[in-house]
Amino acid sequence: MNLKNIRTQQNLTQKQLAERMDTTQQTVARWENGKTPLNSAHIKQLCTVLHCTPQDLMGWEIEDEGFDGAMLLEHGFPYGTLRLTMSFGVQQHPIGDLDRDAVNAFLERRSVLNHKKDATEWLVVTTLRKRLLMVNPASLRGVGIVSDDIEAMPDFQNEEDAPLGWDSDHDGIEGSGEDLRVTFLDGTSESYALSEGVANDVYSFLIGNEFGEGCFLSVQDDEAGHYRSFINMAHIAMLDLPAELFASLTSDDDVDINDEG
C-alpha cells in the first residue's frame, strides 16, 4: 500500500490527514503500517482527499478498462476469489467486496443455526467479469472466499475471453459472452441465446428465488413464438449470464440483482 508515500508527497502529516478523514492520527498510523486494513469506504474517502486512484493508493496492477467507476459503484473494490466446489469440479470467480458481503449474508442465512428445513434460496452474485451467477445450493459441496491477494484473483480484464476456472477435467462452456449458460447437476452444460423472453423468465425466478417441484425455466424463445424450450429447475446446478445484457432486457421491471429482498 502507498498511503504513506502519497501523504508525504503532498506534504501532509498524519495528524492533518486524520483531520481531513475525520479520524485519529493513531488510526492513520495503523493504516500505514498495515495493522488496520482499509475497507472500501476508507479507500474511496482517501482517494477523494488525496486526489489519487485506488490503484495508486493500494498498489494494484489492474488495467483501467477492467476496473472503472461503474464497477466500483456496482461491485465495490476487488476483494478476492469466490470458490464454488461441486461434485463435478471447482469454479473460481473474481468478486468485489460488495458481492463478498452478499455471499456472507447468504451463508449466514443458511447456517446450522438459521437454516430452515424447506429453504430453497439460491446463491446470487455478480462477478467482476460482469456475469450474473445463480447457484443451486443443492449442487454445492462447499463455498470458499479467498481474500487479500488481488494478483491471485482469476483475470477479469476481458470478460469475453476469461476462462471459467474449472479445476477438473471439465472443459468449461464455449459461448459468445452474450449467452445464458446452464450447468446441470451432473456437470454437463448447455448455452442459449439470452432473448428478452428468456431474460424475463429468469427475472421471475430471481425475484422469487424459489421454485416448486416440477418448475421449468424457459431457455429458448424465438421472436415468432414458434419454438420454446424449457429446463427442469430441479436438475440445474447453476445459471450464468451476462449481467449488463440481462439488466437491459429487463430494465422495464427495475431489476436490482443485488437486492437482498
| Strand-strand pairing, 216-221 and 228-232 | antiparallel
Residues in contact with 169: Cβ distance below 8 Å, sequence separation at least 6, in sequence order: 89
pLDDT attached to residue 161: 36
* 197-231 residue pLDDT tens: 889 888 888 877 666 667 888 888 766 667 788 99
Higher pLDDT, 159 or 88: 88
**What is the full DSSP assignment across 118-145?**
T--PPEEEE-TTSEEEEE-GGGEEEEEE
C-alpha cell at 182: 446452464
Give pLDDT tens digits for 175-197: 455 689 999 999 999 999 898 88
Is 161 strand, coil or helix?
A: coil
253 SS3 class: helix
Distance separating the N- and C-terminal Cα atoms of the chain: 36
Q: How far apart are alpha carbons 3 and 10 in whole angstroms?
A: 11
SS (H, E, C) 32-75: HCCCCCCCHHHHHHHHHHHCCCHHHHHCCCCCHHHCCHHHHHHH
* CB of 192 closer than 8 Å to CB of 201: no
Domain 3-59 part of CATH 1.10.3720.10? no
Residues of the chain with pLDDT > 90, as a percent, come to: 31
Beta carbons of 66 and 96 less than 8 angstroms apart: no
Residue 96: count other Cβ atoms within 10 Å of its Cβ: 24
H or E stretch including 169? none
- Check residue 36 and give its pLDDT: 84
Mean pLDDT of 232-240: 92
199 and 243 Cβ atoms separated by less than 8 Å: no
DSSP 8-state secondary structure symbol assigned to residue 250 = T
| pLDDT tens digit sequence for 9-63 | 999 999 999 999 999 999 999 999 888 877 767 887 888 889 887 778 877 655 4
Question: For residue 225, what pLDDT is reported?
Answer: 61
- Domain extents for the chain? 3-59, 74-253
